[in-house]
Amino acid sequence: MTHGSLFSGIGGFDLAAEWMGWKNMFHCEKNEFCQKVLKYHWPASELFTDIITSDFTKYANKIDVLSGGFPCQPFSVSGEQQGSGDVRYLYPEMLRAIREVKPGWVVAENVRGLNSPKFSHIYEEICSSLENEGYETLPPLLIPASAIGADHERYRLWFVAHSNSQRYERVKQFGSEESGQMEVAVKALATHKIGVRTQNELPKPFVIGRSNGIPVRLDGITFSKWREGSISGFGNAVVPQIPYQIFKAIEQYENTIPTKS
């Protein structure tokens, strides 16, 4: 399968896609430190540097899964919670990218505050906007990092949407039996029972290359810049084991095509 990411950061979604054996086609990230990390780990993937000015139409109908953790500052309790009035509210740009790319699946992430009563209208607008673009949106999932065995909660809200045009073709070919299969595949995610395993059983993220934490071939980064950039990058990153489980559910759905008796 093919994958593209928006608001890519240090590549949490991209790492999960790599664990799946998928091909990372492109990233989009404005932060220069994060750009260096992305280029280092996925040199063959195209890097867009600003979602506002980027045109993604070259990837139309070429991406199976488009992911992105659009900026959380407008909804985070650590910010001013200005919602759509915050200049960093960039979901509309993500929606434009979805419209241009026309991916089979959309996986979006944000803080749990987006699902609070204060921002319920924005939450509903996001779901409605995906439906208006021809996607069936599953009930958003509120999943903590502890669901995959981490030692902290770090609750995040996950949106998963599937192209209705692709679903229609599958139903036409194989009958309505397939309509509930994705719901079954993500049921464990919705109940936080996604297979809590020991740390030894989880895929290992990339971090340390030398004793000072700087990968051997990551040129142009001093230790002080690495420390500052990595703290910020990890703070903004998704826990990659969670999208990995979501991606597994997506692939399971795609590979489990019912046959008529």
Contacts of 195 (CB under 8 A, 6+ apart): 148, 188, 245
Which of 28, 34, 72, 127 is an active site residue?
Answer: 72
Residues 96, 114: Cα–Cα separation, whole Å: 20
72 a catalytic residue: yes
What residues are annotated to the active site?
Answer: 72
